[in-house]
């Protein structure tokens, strides 16, 4: 393969750092650290010439935090009781305190430390001093921590905003939360490198959706990569090259150009192509339309998964029913009369929402997430369901429930919908009372009950990202056990066959909307299992189309039928890969994930 040869030829592969390739493509650019509000603060040693600008950055952040705080006091202060107003004033004194700023600046200067780390150390020092004093001073410990947090937030925000004004970069972060990707200007991201996040993690999904090469599982990033230094990455093979020498640099550039060109050709063919099986639906998984190629969108049959939680992130309050109605109508208009399946808000687990404070859980993935959470937060779920029912009067819209475990949960959602439809009718508000309600099968117990689920729901959608994590008991973000996450394992394929058959028997449509639906070998396996509706990240659509161009459902069925009794995922993968290589040849193999 040409792309591979370019990099291999350039020798010096010994310099490559290994990680896990989570989004294909090659990138070359300067390292830029991203810091989210949740997680560890960056700690770096500064070059001598960086010290004075760092002190200025700290002082600016104090000034901005103080102004923000003063604005809040002026807006709310009058309504507050006298003692709370006094607290505001004492906080303001902290922001203006030269002694505090001076001792943090001294840490920056003496220890050549970045502002975030110097601030954190000084705040910890003062807070522990105050805590040992009497009660009055103990309260000061909380005050100084609060002030420190606000200044820290300004520093983080400023750093994010700085990205907007700089050249394109390779973003490096310990972990990227789904909400972080909203505040980033993705058009400036050449690549992404993280410590945390497996192939089915949200960072991987978002990177692939935006066509950004990404590598994960790289330990001790900050110690490894100097900020601003040049970095090369190969997101298919999971490799990093720090400060690549000129020869390797050239090879990486050629490899990147080759990848971009072959992808463009595939996209063009895909947009023009029709599949050989007319009864297949090719749908997209979408969070927003920002980086979506309009031609790709037009070529799809609709949106099979709209992750609405992204509408709730990147803001400080929940959107109202009217705001949501306008938004959903807008999405329908964008998709131009084709179906859109909106999933109700799916937060909790690895998708925290900054303003939704939930108790700390020991096992968030097994905890309060999806409809488990929204059933108890009806003031969140009801406006969303009402907005969706109302938007359904403007286009073909379906409602999908995330993280369903039992049939009773679907029954309960249906009863709630019936009540809301009644209310809307009484209020004379346009809506569609026949809006289909679907269950997302992500919990093995729900997938094993697919026949019952199919009776209660209007359609089923299999979320293989979560289903496989629960099936194999593998955290989708934990690279230590990533090898056990095996979409092509015969056990997974047998379970999926059962779900697809249950839907067919009940006459209810079944979609697979996890990443597996769009990963070429997964697409092929699912086609062989009888799946008709595939919903995938837009980046995968061209590859899936190539699979459909080269295999009919019957051909894929004959191929996959012989694999279900095997023992190992590796055997299934090898046989599928060989068959795909024979039929599709170079067309798709150059961008196969591995």
Active site positions, annotated: 202, 513
* Candidate residues 181, 344, 465, 588; the one interacting with ligand PEP per rule CB under 6 A: 465
Contact between 232 and ligand PEP (CB under 6 A)?
no
* Nearer residue to ligand PEP within complex by CB, 3 or 536: 536
CB of 480 to Mg ion, least distance (A): 21
For Mg ion, which is the closer residue by CB, 217 or 463?
463
The contacts of residue 516 (CB under 8 Å, 6+ apart) are 464, 465, 468, 487, 522, 525, 526
Residues near Mg ion (CB under 5 A)? 442, 463, 466
Binds 216, which of ligand PEP, Mg ion, none (CB < 5 to 8 A, cut-off by type)?
Answer: none
Among 174, 307, 508, 532, binds ligand PEP (CB under 6 A): 307
What is the rounded CA–CA span in Å between residue 125 and residue 128? 5
With CB cut-offs between 5 and 8 Å by kind, which of Mg ion, ligand PEP, none does residue 464 bind?
ligand PEP
d(CA 230, CA 60) in angstroms, rounded, equals 28
Minimum CB distance to ligand PEP smaller for 3 or for 401: 401
In the complex, the smallest distance separating the C-beta of residue 526 from Mg ion, rounded to whole angstroms, is 17
- Between CA 235 and CA 308 the distance in angstroms is 28
Binding segment toward ligand PEP, per CB under 6 A, in 58-66, 191-199, 458-466, 581-589: 458-466
Contact between 463 and ligand PEP per CB under 6 A = yes
Out of 383, 503, 514, 542, which residue is the one contacting ligand PEP (CB under 6 A)? 514
Integer Cα distance of 553 and 561 in angstroms: 12
Residue 258, CB-side half-sphere exposure with 13 Å CA sphere: 19
Per the CB < 8 A criterion, the answer to whether 506 and 451 are in contact is yes
CA atoms within 13 A on the CB side of 579: 25
Nearest one of 47, 53, 87, 82 to 69, comparing CA atoms:
87
| DSSP secondary structure string for all residues of 312-331 | HSSSSSPPPHHHHHHHHHHH
* Least distance between ligand PEP and beta carbon 511 (Å): 10
Task: Please identify which residue in 344, 464, 486, 511 interacts with ligand PEP, judged by CB under 6 A.
Answer: 464
Stretch that binds ligand PEP, among 158-166, 312-320, 446-454, 462-470 (CB under 6 A): 462-470
Q: Which two tokens stand for residue 153?
A: 């937030």
CA distance 422 to 337: 26
Task: Collect all residues with Cβ–Cβ distance below 8 Å to 64 and sequence separation of at least 6.
Answer: 154, 158
The pair phi, psi for residue 45, each rounded to 5°, is -95, 135
Binds ligand PEP by CB under 6 A, chosen from 513, 521, 524, 569: 513
Can residue 442 be called a binding residue for ligand PEP (CB under 6 A)? yes
587 is a contact residue toward ligand PEP (CB under 6 A): no
CA–CA separation, 35 and 483 (whole Å): 28
232 versus 514: smaller Cβ distance to ligand PEP: 514
CB nearest Mg ion: which residue?
Answer: 466
- The nearest distance, CB 517 to Mg ion, in angstroms, is 13
Q: How far is the CB of 447 from Mg ion (least distance, A)?
A: 13
Binding part of the chain for ligand PEP, among 43-51, 67-75, 431-439, 457-465 by CB under 6 A, reads 457-465
Beta bridge partners, 113, equal 45
CB 62 within 8 A of CB 101: yes
Task: Name residue 512's beta-bridge partners.
Answer: 462, 534
Closer residue to Mg ion (CB): 122 or 350: 350
Residues that bind ligand PEP (CB under 6 A): 305, 307, 346, 442, 463-466, 513-514
């Amino acid at each position: 393969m040409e792309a591979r040869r370019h990099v291999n030829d350039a020798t010096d592969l010994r310099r490559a750092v290994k990680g896990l390739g989570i989004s294909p493509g090659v990138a070359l650019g300067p390292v830029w650290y991203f810091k989210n509000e949740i997680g560890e603060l960056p700690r770096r040693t500064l070059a001598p010439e960086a010290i004075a600008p760092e002190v200025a950055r700290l002082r600016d952040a104090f000034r901005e935090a103080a102004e923000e705080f003063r604005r809040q006091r002026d807006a709310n202060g009058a309504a507050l009781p006298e003692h709370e107003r006094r607290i505001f004033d004492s906080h303001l004194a902290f922001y203006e305190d030269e002694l505090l700023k001076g001792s943090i600046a001294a840490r920056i200067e003496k220890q050549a430390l970045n502002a975030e780390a110097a601030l954190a150390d000084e705040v910890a020092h003062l807070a522990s001093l105050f805590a040992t004093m009497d009660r009055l001073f103990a309260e000061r410990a909380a005050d100084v921590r609060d002030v420190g947090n606000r200044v820290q937030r300004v520093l983080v925000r400023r750093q994010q905003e700085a990205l907007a004004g700089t050249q394109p970069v390779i973003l490096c972060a310990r972990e990227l939360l789904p909400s972080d990707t909203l505040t980033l200007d993705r058009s400036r991201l050449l690549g992404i490198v993280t410590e945390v996040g497996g192939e089915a993690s949200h960072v991987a999904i978002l990177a692939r959706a935006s066509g950004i090469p990404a590598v994960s599982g790289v330990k001790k990033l900050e110690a490894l990569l100097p900020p601003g230094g040049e970095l090369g990455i190969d997101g298919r093979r999971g490799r990093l090259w720090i400060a690549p020498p000129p020869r390797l640099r050239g090879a990486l550039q050629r490899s990147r150009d080759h990848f971009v060109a072959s992808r463009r050709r595939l996209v063009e063919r895909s947009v023009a192509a029709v599949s050989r099986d007319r009864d297949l639906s090719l749908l997209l998984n979408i969070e927003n339309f920002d980086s979506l190629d309009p031609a790709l969108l037009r070529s799809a049959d609709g949106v099979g998964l709209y992750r609405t939680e992204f509408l709730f992130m990147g803001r400080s309050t929940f959107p109202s029913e009217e705001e949501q109605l306008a938004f959903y109508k807008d999405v329908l208009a964008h998709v131009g009369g084709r179906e859109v399946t909106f999933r109700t808000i799916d937060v909790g687990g690895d998708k925290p929402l900054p303003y939704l404070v939930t108790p700390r859980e020991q096992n968030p993935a097994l905890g309060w997430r999806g409809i488990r959470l929204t059933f108890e937060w009806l003031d969140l779920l009801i406006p969303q369901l009402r907005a969706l029912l109302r938007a359904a009067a403007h286009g073909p819209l379906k409602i999908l429930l995330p993280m369903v475990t039992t049939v009773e949960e679907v029954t309960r959602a249906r009863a709630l919908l019936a009540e809301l439809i009644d209310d809307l009718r009484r209020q004379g508000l346009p809506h569609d009372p026949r809006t289909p309600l679907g269950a997302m099968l992500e919990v093995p117990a729900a997938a094993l009950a697919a026949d019952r689920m199919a009776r209660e729901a209007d359609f089923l959608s299999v979320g293989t990202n979560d289903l496989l994590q629960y099936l194999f008991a593998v955290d989708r973000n934990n690279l230590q056990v990533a090898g056990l996450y095996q979409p092509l394992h015969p056990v997974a394929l047998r379970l999926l066959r059962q779900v697809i058959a249950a839907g067919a028997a009940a006459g209810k449509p079944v979609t697979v909307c996890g990443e597996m639906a769009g990963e070429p070998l997964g697409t092929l396996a699912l086609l062989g299992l009888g799946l008709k509706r595939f919903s995938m990240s837009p980046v995968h659509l061209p590859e899936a189309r190539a699979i459909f161009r080269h295999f009919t459902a019957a051909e894929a069925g004959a191929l996959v039928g012989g694999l279900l009794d095997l023992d190992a995922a590796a055997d299934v993968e090898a046989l599928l890969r060989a068959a795909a290589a024979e039929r599709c040849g170079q067309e798709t193999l150059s961008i196969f994930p591995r």
